[in-house]
Amino acid sequence: MHRFIVIEGNIGAGKTSLATSIAEEYMGKLILERFTENPFLPRFYENPKEHAFSVELSFLADRYNQLKTTLDTPGLFSNFIIADYYFAKSLIFARVTLDDEEYKLFRQLYDIMNHALPRPDLLVYLKSSTGRLLDNIGKRGRDFEKHISKEYLNKINDSYMAFFRQANYPILVLDLQEETDFVHNQGHYEKVKSYIFKEKFSPGIHFLSLDA
């Protein structure tokens, strides 16, 4: 049903864990974001204003290169491709971190690159409370993430929602409850997975709660 699935979400939402589990179960080709290779990221979290344009431009180039290369040469034995981010993530974060003049230039570069990439058959957004996100961020213990604030996470979530309202491909927003644990709870994982694969969604936003 879906040849190209994207798992998106705010920082600490569990994107990589879910995408990895689905790829392993269905032998899909997995694309994981290479954020740890970005030399500007630790500097950005320490001083966002000074390093915002550098970090966003670096992510833009790396995401484009990774997606273009991978999506142009799909694995011969993969049923589908699944990624833990999509190219639009660059625009969503840039809207929050850049000033207006920087964003205008960034948007021009984004639009040029975006035309060369395919749209996902389905984008799944893992919507979590800010408290849950901060708890997950703290548990994984990445030193450069210790400066992430509640306010920043709220702005990122709002930027995602604003972007989704104008997207022209299917988007499934899964509202995760505080107790949801699809990493360690097989029942929760099966339920999340069933929502993703149970039907072919039409273009636009579709909201589902885990307890729906």
> Where residue 145 sits, what CATH number does that domain have?
3.40.50.300
Residue 177, pLDDT score? 87
Residue 111 annotated in active site? no
For the chain, the domain total comes to: 1
What is the mean pLDDT of each successive set of 10 residues along the chain, which is 212 residues long? 92 95 93 84 87 94 93 70 96 96 97 94 96 92 87 96 94 92 92 90 92 60
Domain that holds residue 107: 4-209
Q: pTM to 2 decimals?
A: 0.92
Residue 143, pLDDT score? 83
Q: Which residues contact 207 (CB under 8 A, 6 or more apart)?
A: 173, 175
Task: Exactly one of 62, 72, 84, 211 is catalytic; name it.
Answer: 84
Residue 142, pLDDT score? 85
Q: Helix axis angle, 186-197 relative to 15-26, nearest 10°?
A: 80
Residue 145, pLDDT score? 86
